[in-house]
Each structure stands twice: as C-alpha cells, then as structure tokens.
Structure 1
C-alpha cells in the first residue's frame, strides 16, 4: 500500500511617423564659419559596397557653339512643357509635394528626348564645360514637377547625377543641384528610390552631410528617399546615417527647424532598423542620452530621440554600456523631465504620445535594471538608489512604476532584500502607496516589488507586523484590473508561506467586536470570496496555493513541541470552522492541467486536510464537484508503468509525478474513511470503500 503520510509536491518554479515630402529648391544656407569635424563615415561600412562614380572629366573640349546649342535644346524641353502646362510656382525650401497624378492630363514626357539630353550631359561633363552647372540647375528645377520623376529615372538622367554625387572633387554648385534633382525625383517614386538603393548611392549622399555647402539639401534628400520605403531605410541605417547625424547635432551644425525635424526623424528611422543599432559605435549612446536630456529640445524632437534611445537600449551591447558608463542616471532623468512639460502646453495627441513615451522608457529601464551588471554598478546607498527610493513617494505614476521595477530588480538577493526592509524600511513607503489612490499600473508594480522582498529571511515578519495582510486585502476586490487581483493573491501566498504568524494574521477577525457579524469573518474569508467571484483560473489557482501553504505550515508546526503543536491545532480548528469552503480552491488546483506541479501540490494539500477530522469535512465539501470526485477516482486507479532502461528524464519526471499523485489520492481516501465525516453521503462512502478494496487487491496481486 502507499505511504500514509502525504508526499509533498515540489514547489512550482513560477516564482517567483507623418511623412513630409517636400520639394528641394536652389536656396543656400547662410555662410557658416564653423569647421566641420572629421567623422569616420567616409568609408563604407563592412558588408556595404561603393557605388560607381561619374566618368573622368578628360574628354575633348566642346566649342562654345556646341555647348550653347546643347544648353538651349535642354531649355527648350522644359519651356515647351511650361507653355503647355502653365508656369509653375517656385516653392520654398522643401515645400510639400503634390500627390496627384498629372500623367492623364499632360501625357507622358518624351523619354527619348530625355535620353538625348542624357547623351549631351555626358559630353558636357566629360569636357568639363562651364555649362554643366546651368544644365543641372535647369534639370533640378524641372524635377519639381512630379510628372518628370518617372522619365528622369527611365532615361538614365537620375542615375547620371547619382554618379556625379558619388564622385570626388565636384563643384559645390553641381552637387547642390544634383541633390535637388535626386531628392525630387525620389519623392513618392519607389522605382527611382529602388535605383538609388540597388547601387548603394545613399553612401555618398550621407557623406555629403559634412559638406557645409550642401548639408541643408543632402539630409532632406535622404529623408525623401527613405519616406515610406523600407529598403532605403534599412540601407541608410546600415550605412551609418544615425551616427553621422548624431555628430552633426553634437557639433551644432544643424540649423533651422525644418532641417532639425528631418534630422531627428531620420535618427528614429535608423534606430528602428536592427542594423542601424547593431552597426553603431559605442560613442552613439552617450550622444543620444545628451540630446534627450537637453532642456531646450522641442517636444517633437524629444519624441524622436527618446524612441531612438529606447531602440538602442533593447540591444544588449548598449544595455551593458549604459550601466558600465553610468548613463542610467541620464536615462531616468529623461523620464523625470517628461513631467516638467505642462499638459496645457501640449495638444491632446501630444499628451497621449508623451504617455506612450513614458511607458516605453519604463520598459527599457526595466530591461536595463534586469541586466546582471546593474546590481554591481548601482548597489544600495548609490545615488541612483536614493533617487529611485525617493520616487516611491512621488505622485507621478510612471516614476513610481519605474522605482518599483528597478528597485525590484535589485531585490533579487536575500541580503539586499533584507537591507531594504530592515535598514531602509522601503516596505513602509510601498504599503502607504497601496493604501492610497494609486492607479492599477502602480499597484501592480508595488505588489511585484513586495513579492520579491517577502522571499528573504525575516522579511515576512516585518511585512506582517507592518499590516501587509490588511493593506493587501482591499486589493482582492480590485476587479477593474485583474492583474492587480492576481498579484495581490500571489503576494499573500508569498507572505504567509512558512510564516505561522502571518497565517494567524490572515485568520484574524475583520472586527474585534464580538457582536459584529464581521467578527466571524476573517481576511481569508475575503480571499475565498474572490475565489467565488473571479473567472480567472490563475487567480483561483493562486488562492488554492495559498491554502496549500497554510496547511503545510500548520502541519509542520503540529510536528514540533507541545506548546507549538497546541497553537497549530487551535489555528487549524479556526481554519476549518470559519471557512467551510476552504478546500474548493485546492480542488481547482487538481482539476487544472496547465501546471502539473501545481496539480501535485493540490493532491498533497487535500491529503493533509483529509487526515484531520475538521479538514475532512472541508474535503467532502469540495467533492461536491463531480469533476473533483471523478478525478480522485481516476487518480487512485492510475496504473504506472515500471521504470525502463531507455527512459528519458521527462518520462521519469512524469512517471514519478503519477506515483506521487496516486499515493496522495489514496491517503486522501483513507483519511476520509477513517474520519468518517458526517457530511459524506453514504453512496459516496460506499464508492470510496470499493475503490480502496480495488486498490488493495491490486497491490496484493503484485
């Protein structure tokens, strides 16, 4: 026969954008006296390739008449187009592009004529003609008309000027108008964008960011190529556009609101690409943190750079760097500074964006603080620890959440948890916040932090003495946020596990007035009420595991000295007399199939209950559920195969579980038959007796 002492289950291991498409004009920036510092972006990154450049300018010279004829032929093409369509207005720098398709009205441009232009351009270029600047300017002006974009690409003119910008020692005027043509030709035209990408022409354009004569155009050109076109976004990210822009911002070389906006949006685009982060040098992260903590940064730019920061901090290399270089302080200051922006200064949509930004920051800070290096670099008594501890008492919810999560990640060693409670008394601030009007997200974070603290040493007693049972009991009714209910139930289990004093507190009356109905109800009664109300299996299971912890601890105390055993017996009597439905949550544990270890834990607890006269009454009550009774019958009759030589580790675990569950189910039935509870129906009793005879015969036959 099976052992007559319940076989305890192993404790479960679950512990604990809008795109801006704009025309590029010939306007130049004001003269800049600043020197552009050298940046290592001139050389293609590993895995990339250099695009072809323009042919050498060593061809035979053309006569003035030839040059003039070629230039007039070029002008005539666009003049005739303007006479047909009406002259178009010269827009401001990067004025918004029209989206309409004009092909139907104007007809397709003469690609053959443009191919002739392409041949003439080659002659002008190779001869070093002074007309080259005037020719490219005419073409760049024409590129502002959306109907020319396709023909520019099909005729080879676009690629001609892409090769020009990929060539060294080209006059700035030629570069400027070439960039204008490229940027306008690529706006909303994926075929042309693909041409740029296929030969990696983004490399020389990014290189031109450092040329003060054309930087104000080259940045918007890259933006136009990338907008709504993922292949270009991936390529520029891999080609180091992010770090190049960061150094420009660092050196204060980006002027004007519009250009700043494109710069920050390109930063964000690059960070959204894995290669953009992976290929960035370590120097990138400090620059991002510095930008994000700039007091004068505009809100729209803050959003972009913070999203960029969050993307970088999802990478383990930058997480590690953030910790070892002590950049965490800067990151959390971005979160704190977000509350310095008054809501009345922001549009409703911006307020929502800011809220999402805080959530994303908290997520990356959670990841960083979970990194193994974090606790070594930021121990207790560090400045960051003091800052986070002060945030526990803040009214800003995301600051509280941040503090709980990061400190909770520190609280993963017993000695740290003990110091937090005994020395810093952090639990007092946490319990005070639970008693307040904190939002669900804050409550959830606090409960998770407290659960970590409750695991260590004597912390359970400190928490119990501070009134944690009473404080957390009100959250069992927090039905608007089931996650809070679940965490509250889980914290309760953690606090009472192996703590006789906290079990006593859980079984204290809700009122000390003997004439009050609440005098016969306990905090456990409230927890059992949650079991009856909730539809959440995880919550039901967590409550069941709490009951198991109670039974286990009382049973252990009963095995000790006489005085301790008497206390335990009195508490056991109170448990069963005041909570007739106490075994129902345990029944849920054995009927669920998601967590096998939890099921075994349930059979153990039911066997313990059935071994006591009052406990057997509670077990009979739970057997009203036919699913529990049928499962009991099936578990007792379980036939377990013998151990085999080729048995895998998983097969062995499953076999041993079946044996343990069967033996505990047999102990349960024996306990019921021995105590013969008055509530056990005769028919059920006979069925149990027959069941045991069948078991006995099975064992005798072996």
Structure 2
C-alpha cells in the first residue's frame, strides 16, 4: 500500500470516529487533497478510499449537518470530482440534487464550491449531466448566473467564473442540456457578463470558451444570430484590453464563419480592419504567439472573403483596405502573408468586374513572378495551388483571356506539367481549359504539342483523382473544339485521346457529356479515316445506343448524340471507296472497311429503331434530330 493510500485511509477512519465533530478531520482531508503531489498516486489513493466507503461518510455528513462542516464537504467533493473514476460514484451516491440546492445559497463561498463540485463531476460525464437534467439543474444554474451579473460583494467575481465553467462542463456535447440552456436565455446572460466585466480577464475568457462550445452545436445557431453577442465579441477587438482576448476571439470567429449567415454579417462590419491591424502589429515578429495571431487573422480574412457578400464588400471597387493590403502582401517575404494575399486575390476574382480591375492592376504579372520562384519545390505546392486557382478565376471572363495569354500565363503554368501533386495538376488543367476557351491560337499551341497531349491523355486516366480525370478530358475536348484543326485532331488520335472522350460521353454531368459529343462530332466530320478504329475499339456504338435508349436522357443530349451519329454515318457515306490516304493503317481499303464496319454496327445495333421511336418524341428538337438522322440513312441507302 502506498504512503498516499495509507494516509487517506487513516483520515477517513478518523472521520468516522469523530463524525459528531468532523471539522478537523475534514480540514486534514482537504489539506491532503490540495497539497501538490503525484497525480497518478493521488488518483489511486482516492479510488481506494472510495472503495472503502469514503463517499458514504461524506454523504452522511452533508445530509446531517448545517454548520461549517458542510462547505468543507462540498469543497472535498469538488476536489474528488477531478478524478475521472470517482465522478460516477459521486452521482450514484446521490450528491447531484444536494449540490444543486446549494447553488441558491446566500453564502457566496458555499455557492462557489457547489458550482465547482458540480462542474468537476459533470466534466465529460454524461451520467452526471443526466442527473443534473433530471433535477432541473440548468434552470437553477441560469438563475444563479443572472442573480450575480452585477454582484459586487467579496467572492462574486470567482463565483461568476466558476458558474460559467459549470455551464460549459454540463452542456458541452449534451444536446438536451444545450437546448435547455439556450432556451433559458444562456446566450443573453453570457453577453451581459462580457459587457459588464470586460476587465475580468479570467471571467471573459471562460465566457468565450463557453460560447465556443455553444457555437459548435447547430442548436444555438438561430438564437445566436438573434442575440447581440456577435457585435459584442467583435467589439472586444476594439477595446484597450482587446489584446488579452485576441487569440480566443479569433478562434471563436473562425468557428462562427463556418455559418454563411454569420460570415456575411462579419464581412459588413469593421472586423476586417481589426484583423488587418492585428497582422500589421505582429508583422515581422518571429515569436510563436505573434505568428499564431497572424495566421488566425489572415485565415479569418480569407474565410470572410468566401461568403456571398464578403468579396464584394471588402473589394470596394478596388479601394477596400484588405485589397490594398493584399497587393502589398504579394511582395512580402513572409510566406504566410504571401499565401494569404494569393488566396485573397483568388476570392476577389470570383466576380467578372473584379477580374478586370485585378488584371488592370498588374496582379497577373505579380502572380507569375511568384509562381516562377516557387515552381521547383514540392514544399511549395500549396502556394502553387493557390496561384493556379487565382489565375483560373482571372481567366474566366472572355475579355481577360487574350490579356493573360499576352502576359505569358500559358507558358508559365506549363512549367508545372511535371508536377506529381494531383491537387496542383487539377488546378493547372483548370487554368489551361479557361485559357483555350475561345482562343484558337492557344488551343493549337497545346493541341499540336505531342508531348503535352501525351501527358494530358495520361491525366485523363488517373483513377486516384477524379478531379484530374474530369478536368483532363474536358481540356482534351476543349482543344478539339477551339482548335478545329485536322493536325490537332490527328495528334489527339495518335496520343490515344479517343477512348477518354468516348468515356466522357457517359458522364453524369450534362456539360461534360455535351463537350465530349461536340468534340467527337468534329473529329468524325474531319478525320474519321484515322479515328474509325479507336472509335470502334472504344465501343462508341454501345455508348450511343445506351444514351439514345435511356428514357432519362435529357433532350439536349439526345439531340447531340443523334448529331454525332448522323455525322459519323454521313462521313462514311461520303468517303471515296478507294482513294483514301491512310496514315494510321496499312492501306486505304482497310481504313474504308473499318469506317464501313462502324456504320454497319450502328445500322444493326438497334439505334435506327430507337431513332424511329425518337421521331415521335415530345420535344420538337429531338424529333427533328431523329428525322434528320433517318433521312441521311435513307439517302445513303438510295445511293447504294
């Protein structure tokens, strides 16, 4: 038996012997509990004492005395509640309803110790929380908190802090008690505590921690928005003592910014100016606390920008403080601020008018310079990703595309084609797709580059990243559509680009289906001689049949699929029988045979019968497309 265990057992035994006048024994036990000692040894000693009936002895005293011993027992229970294994035994012994009664004590010390005991017993202990719930403990606690909002007598400040701690421990992750606390007006009480006791740092920090627990729950969202807490919390950053609360407030606001409604509200007040000031004050400081504040403030600014109103409000026609600071941060050596600047630019660039202003301000050239400096390091992939995201957004407006191409964006981002980081590749493909949209010269530059198209087709088959796969095939289709060059299309065929385009036709996304159908239609109308074999091997006929025969296929897809089928059959009909110049196969006759075989597959696959059914479709455009296809077949049959 350890020395600690022996000591506490002796004290408990003495308590039993002198139960009629237990004060001195209780003082000895308190002294034992409060003295600094090894935590594990203390826990084991207390567990043994509880097994030997210590809680029963304390229960007898607390239920049969009304003198000074009472407060000491409650204080002992508060200390015992720190040991996890003793919390449930305290509940089983029946202490919860007794302790709740003493929350209403006129003796501030008694009420404080009752709060301590209840708070410790309920810490991460749903058994204790449920017991509090059964005895309407939340209502009693809220009554206590209200009564002492402005109390000035000695000990009231500590009581307020301890009571808030009890509220935190009893409601944290407990939905039923959280709901009762919110319905009972807990948020308004906590708001009052901050307003009246701003100088009490311990209390305000406890209130903020409690609020942090509340806002993690969906339960209090609407009540929170209805209260004035948001402006109160933000207002803390404007106070002279605001520095004390900065980290806690920022953490709270970051969590709040996950709600879109709150995000927009925060973007409309002075918060962004306060955040910029925090960054400026700590800029250049290397200590962990300053760096953490810079990170949290910049993270929060970016979160605000992702809201519907945030980017518009903080851009302010290019005059917003955050936009002005972001331009400066692009030139900062501090990598965190540079990253924040790039992310801010990317979010500002979600608006076409903003994009034009950003391009006029020379932001593109700055982004390219940063990218060139960070293109060779895998460690910089987060920055690469952010820059590519910004460039993609800037490249969306049609009027910006030629400007970005003239600035050298295409050649610069192509330096990243060797990246093995799929997140970077995903953004790279997005930039390229935006750049070539409507830009024939750019499409030709990429589409006729054998090395690039080989790499692109490889990305179309990346199973581990669906985003890269999707963007890859979309870029491939876009090159065909925007380049409209026989040389480009032949390059795509040689690089095995037909299979991913056929697969893309069956995409679950309407836009991707259409893009693939348009690309394949262009290829069939221009270079079917070289495309016939890979189209046949990719089971294009089965794909067409499946789409046309599916009753859920949208009219637009039906029309484009029929156009592709008609184009293919028409191209075969117009192909001279013996004069083909075949570069893909051994002889012209063989190429013609494959094209003819592809057409015969269509004729015998049931597609013609489906087309006849579609000629009676409810939609005019589908009927017209089906009849046009059938007419082409009839003409080719007559010619034969």
When normalised by structure 2's length, the TM-score is: 0.72
* Secondary structure of residue in 2 paired with 1:88: helix
Report if the CA contact (8 A) 1:378-1:385 is conserved.
yes
In 2, the alpha carbon distance for the partners of 1:97 and 1:216 equals: 30
Q: 2:161 aligns with which of 219, 227, 230?
A: 219
Report if the CA contact (8 A) 2:330-2:338 is conserved.
yes
Q: 1:196 aligns with which of 123, 132, 147?
A: 132
* Secondary structure of residue in 2 paired with 1:230: coil
Q: Between 269-278 and 528-537, report the one with greater CA deviation.
A: 528-537
Deviation at 1:696, TM superposition (A): 6.3
Whether 1:526 and 2:526 are equivalent positions in the alignment is no
2:382 corresponds in structure 1 to 441
In 2, the alpha carbon distance for the partners of 1:425 and 1:100 equals: 68
Whether 1:429 and 2:429 are equivalent positions in the alignment is no
In 2, the alpha carbon distance for the partners of 1:224 and 1:638 equals: 64
* Secondary structure of residue in 1 paired with 2:599: helix
Show CA shifts across 1:114-166 (max 9, x none): 66656656xx5xxxxxx4xx243232333245288667655655424423424
Report if the CA contact (8 A) 1:540-1:585 is conserved.
no
Whether 1:314 and 2:274 are equivalent positions in the alignment is no
**C-alpha distance 506-158 of structure 1, shift in aligned 2 (>3 A):** closer
1:585 corresponds in structure 2 to 497
**C-alpha distance 78-151 of structure 1, shift in aligned 2 (>3 A):** farther
1:467 corresponds in structure 2 to 408
Report if the CA contact (8 A) 2:90-2:121 is conserved.
yes
Deviation at 1:330, TM superposition (A): 2.9
Report if the CA contact (8 A) 1:408-1:452 is conserved.
yes
Show CA shifts across 1:218-253 (max 9, x none): 423543564495225665566565665565455555
**C-alpha distance 367-242 of structure 1, shift in aligned 2 (>3 A):** farther
The alignment of Structure 1 onto Structure 2 pairs a total of residues equal to 563
Report if the CA contact (8 A) 2:529-2:582 is conserved.
yes
The 5-angstrom pairing of residues 557-568 of structure 1 reads: none
2:326 corresponds in structure 1 to 388
Q: 1:165 aligns with which of 89, 103, 122?
A: 103
1:482 corresponds in structure 2 to 422
* Secondary structure of residue in 2 paired with 1:680: coil
Report if the CA contact (8 A) 1:164-1:178 is conserved.
yes
1:34 corresponds in structure 2 to none
In 1, the alpha carbon distance for the partners of 2:208 and 2:149 equals: 14
The 5-angstrom pairing of residues 509-524 of structure 1 reads: none
In 1, the alpha carbon distance for the partners of 2:208 and 2:41 equals: 21
Report if the CA contact (8 A) 1:499-1:553 is conserved.
yes
In 2, the alpha carbon distance for the partners of 1:210 and 1:376 equals: 39
Report if the CA contact (8 A) 1:408-1:448 is conserved.
yes
Deviation at 1:390, TM superposition (A): 2.6
2:5 corresponds in structure 1 to none
Whether 1:496 and 2:399 are equivalent positions in the alignment is no
Deviation at 1:588, TM superposition (A): 0.6
Show CA shifts across 1:190-229 (max 9, x none): 5433332341233134334653433324423543564495
**C-alpha distance 467-652 of structure 1, shift in aligned 2 (>3 A):** closer
Report if the CA contact (8 A) 1:242-1:266 is conserved.
no
Deviation at 1:470, TM superposition (A): 0.8
Deviation at 1:430, TM superposition (A): 1.8
Report if the CA contact (8 A) 1:268-1:305 is conserved.
no
Show CA shifts across 1:541-566 (max 9, x none): 534433433333344xxxxxxxxxxx
Q: 1:545 aligns with which of 474, 477, 487?
A: 474
Show CA shifts across 1:348-399 (max 9, x none): xx98x8898579636623433xx14641564222223222233333344443
**C-alpha distance 367-235 of structure 1, shift in aligned 2 (>3 A):** farther
In 2, the alpha carbon distance for the partners of 1:98 and 1:367 equals: 51
Q: 1:379 aligns with which of 290, 293, 316?
A: 316
**C-alpha distance 414-90 of structure 1, shift in aligned 2 (>3 A):** closer
In 2, the alpha carbon distance for the partners of 1:271 and 1:637 equals: 53
**C-alpha distance 75-175 of structure 1, shift in aligned 2 (>3 A):** farther
Report if the CA contact (8 A) 2:302-2:343 is conserved.
no
Higher relative contact order (CA 8 A, sep 6+): 1
* Secondary structure of residue in 2 paired with 1:380: helix
Show CA shifts across 1:148-193 (max 9, x none): 86676556554244234247xx243443444344445545755433
Report if the CA contact (8 A) 2:165-2:206 is conserved.
yes
Whether 1:278 and 2:208 are equivalent positions in the alignment is no
When normalised by structure 1's length, the TM-score is: 0.67
Report if the CA contact (8 A) 2:548-2:561 is conserved.
yes
1:136 corresponds in structure 2 to 70
In 1, the alpha carbon distance for the partners of 2:270 and 2:234 equals: 11
Q: Between 144-153 and 282-291, report the one with greater CA deviation.
A: 144-153
1:230 corresponds in structure 2 to 173
* Secondary structure of residue in 1 paired with 2:317: coil
The alignment yields a C-alpha RMSD, in angstroms, of 4.5
Q: 1:361 aligns with which of 261, 283, 300?
A: 300
Report if the CA contact (8 A) 2:263-2:310 is conserved.
no
Whether 1:662 and 2:565 are equivalent positions in the alignment is yes
Report if the CA contact (8 A) 2:182-2:220 is conserved.
yes
Deviation at 1:465, TM superposition (A): 0.7
**C-alpha distance 671-211 of structure 1, shift in aligned 2 (>3 A):** farther
Which structure shows the bigger proportion of residues in helix conformation? 2
1:513 corresponds in structure 2 to none
**C-alpha distance 545-385 of structure 1, shift in aligned 2 (>3 A):** same
In 2, the alpha carbon distance for the partners of 1:679 and 1:265 equals: 71
1:45 corresponds in structure 2 to none
Deviation at 1:464, TM superposition (A): 0.8
Show CA shifts across 1:435-493 (max 9, x none): 221722222222222222222232111111111111010112121x2121121122112
Q: Between 540-549 and 487-496, report the one with greater CA deviation.
A: 540-549
